[in-house]
């Protein structure tokens, strides 16, 4: 059997592939080689598959992997290796991706959605090493989560476990993409944070004077406001940006505390671009957690250790399991 695993990550906007060497059956700490590519606008499923296969073949250099693990940015049927659909890329409906990759790469393949692979990646190779239960949360363009319980992924009866993004924190809040009001995703995702800042400034122009650093960083235009700019402005002392960021972090924290009350995991691992917003963000996140968590429940929060590679490491874990099963 070859000592090479292939890990693939089909994200909403980018594709990543990596090969991992095994030494005496144990994975190395670093990729042997890795490639990333952004999907051009208008790319469909067929384009993504073709491009991913060409990256994989380049990394493999005529060698055969012993197994292939796949992370997919959207709902999947992990048991049968079928993609249900993608919310970002057209043409993914009911594609038997594991079968297709097995035929193309002549190695067994397994797949799961990116929240589960990221949770498994952090658990096996990142911030969750040494723990037996954790909840992984990614906060970026959306808010998603994945469970590890008793050392194993838990994806729920319908593969829908971990949807913390659609936990309702404020039933009278703004309408979410799912149709409900006041979901965590609508209050705490990156685009939501930017939207909240724009809405507040439009509704209350008297706040503009407190948002001078934010507006400067945004090029003087409300449309230039992003979550990243909000966190930069907050770090530079912009009072308005700080309030907006703290409100978003608090919303996520309220949901984390509720989740802790229900499941009491040892650890929460928080990743995604918005989680890199700095110490002020993390302070508000932890404070929000304590508002809802029961006093006897410890809520330990750690930043993700693997960054954007967490799903890819989880995919490598899937391949490793296939090889040893």
- Secondary structure of 142-201 in the HEC alphabet? CEEEEEEECCEEECCCCCCCCCHHHCECCCCCCECCCCCECEHHHHHCHHHHHHHHHHHH
Q: CB under 5 A: which stretch of 100-108, 176-184, 187-195, 217-225 binds Zn ion?
A: 176-184
Task: Give the count of residues interacting with Zn ion (CB under 5 A).
Answer: 5
Tell the smallest beta-carbon distance from residue 184 to Zn ion (Å): 8
Q: Choose among 170, 125, 169, 176: nearest CA to 148.
A: 125
Q: Which of 183, 193, 229, 316 is close enough to bind Zn ion by CB under 5 A?
A: 183
From CA 124, how far away is CA 64, in angstroms rounded?
24
Q: How far is the CB of 306 from Zn ion (least distance, A)?
A: 27
CB of 175 to Zn ion, least distance (A): 9
Q: Which is nearer to Zn ion, 49 or 169 (CB)?
A: 169
Q: Is 318 in the site for Zn ion (CB under 5 A)?
A: no
User: Quick one: tokens of 157?
Assistant: 């009866």
Cα separation of 130 and 148, whole Å? 12
- E strands, the chain, are 4-10, 14-23, 26-27, 33-38, 67-72, 76-77, 82-83, 109-113, 134-139, 143-149, 152-154, 267-271, 301-303
Q: 287 is written with which tokens?
A: 């404070």
Residues 79-138 that bind Zn ion (CB under 5 A): none
Among the listed ranges 9-17, 146-154, 178-186, 236-244, the one in contact with Zn ion (CB under 5 A) is 178-186
As measured in angstroms, the least distance from the Cβ of 320 to Zn ion is: 34
CB of 61 to Zn ion, least distance (A): 45
Task: Work out which of 5, 161, 176, 270 binds Zn ion, going by CB under 5 A.
Answer: 176
Closest CB to Zn ion among 124 and 166?
166
Give the interface with Zn ion as residue ranges (CB under 5 A). 166, 176, 178, 180, 183
């Amino acid at each position: 059997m070859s000592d090479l695993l292939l890990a693939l990550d089909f994200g909403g906007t980018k594709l990543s592939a990596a090969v991992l060497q095994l030494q005496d059956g144990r994975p190395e700490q670093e990729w042997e080689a890795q490639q990333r590519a952004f999907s051009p606008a208008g790319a469909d499923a067929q384009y993504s598959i073709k491009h991913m296969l060409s990256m994989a073949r380049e990394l493999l250099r005529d060698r055969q992997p012993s197994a292939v693990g796949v992370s997919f940015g959207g709902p999947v049927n992990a048991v049968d290796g079928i993609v249900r659909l993608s919310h970002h890329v057209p043409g993914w409906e009911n594609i038997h991706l594991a079968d297709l990759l097995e035929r193309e790469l002549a190695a067994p393949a397994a797949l799961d959605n990116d929240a589960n692979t990221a949770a498994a990646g952090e658990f096996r190779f990142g911030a969750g090493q040494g723990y037996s239960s954790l909840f992984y949360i990614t906060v970026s363009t959306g808010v998603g989560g994945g469970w590890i319980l008793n050392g194993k992924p838990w994806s729920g009866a319908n593969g829908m476990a971990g949807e913390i993004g659609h936990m309702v924190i404020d039933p009278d809040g703004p309408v979410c993409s799912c149709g409900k009001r006041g979901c965590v995703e609508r209050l705490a995702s990156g685009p939501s944070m930017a939207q909240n800042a724009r809405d507040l400034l439009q509704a209350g122009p008297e706040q503009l004077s407190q948002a001078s650093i934010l507006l400067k960083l945004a090029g003087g235009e409300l449309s230039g406001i992003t979550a990243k700019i909000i966190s930069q402005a907050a770090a530079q002392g912009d009072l308005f940006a700080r309030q907006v960021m703290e409100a978003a972090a608090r919303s996520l924290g309220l949901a984390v505390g509720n989740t802790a009350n229900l499941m009491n995991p040892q650890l929460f691992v928080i990743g995604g671009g918005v989680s890199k917003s700095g110490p002020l963000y993390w302070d508000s996140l932890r404070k929000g957690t304590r508002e809802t968590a029961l006093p006897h429940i410890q809520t330990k929060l750690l930043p993700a250790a693997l960054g954007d590679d967490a799903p890819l490491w989880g995919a490598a874990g899937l391949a490793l399991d296939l090889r040893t099963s």
